[in-house]
Structure 1
Amino acid sequence: MVDIVMYSTPWCPFCVRAKRLLKDKGVTVTDIDISGSGELRQEMIQRSGQRTVPQIWIGERHVGGCDELYALERQGQLDSLLAQ
């Protein structure tokens, strides 16, 4: 299976929702909690160009946030990305 990386914070409802979908898919997520680290937040911003959480990568592909993850699911594309 492909590596999945998510930058998140524990109190973000969108992060919780995205993690739940990925957990339901049976995949393991490397969760990077940026809540206590300005350095990790800057790393996320540099990698994604975005300031909001979650920021999700499936393999080398930057998916974006929770809305984009659920859009992939609705379009039937998420499972094939996860199976790479």
Structure 2
Amino acid sequence: MAQITLYSSDYCPFCHRAKALLRARGVQAWDEIVVDGRPDLRAAMTERAGRSSVPQIFIDGQHIGGCDDLHALDARGGLLPLLR
């Protein structure tokens, strides 16, 4: 199974949508880094992803992007092969 890292916020509807899609594709666990109230974690995410918005999703170290990027990848048929 792929190693997934998800930077998120508890109050972010896009984060919830991204996690729902991952669950729908059979992913049961991921490393979640909640950046709420943690400017150090948000700065580390921004450095790694080049973006400051959440969610930021990485699969096996590859930056996928945010929620819309994850859904677009799935729509193109590219998500499931990365998850295997």
With the shorter chain as reference, the TM-score category is: over 0.9
Partner SS for 2:54: coil
Instruction: Give the distance between the partners of 1:64 and 1:76, measured in 2 at CA.
Output: 16
Kindly indicate whether the alpha-carbon contact (under 8 Å) linking 1:5 and 1:32 is maintained by their aligned counterparts in 2: yes
Identity of aligned residues (%): 47
| Residue in structure 1 matched with residue 14 of structure 2 by the alignment | 14
Mapped partners of 1:82, 1:29: distance in 2 = 11
TM-score normalised over the length of structure 2: 0.95
Distance in 2 between residues matched to 1:45 and 1:82, nearest whole Å: 24
- Corresponding letter in the other structure for 1:82: L
- Cα RMSD (Å) of the superposition? 0.7
Stretches of structure 1 that go unaligned for 5 or more consecutive residues are none
Gaps of 5+ in 2: none
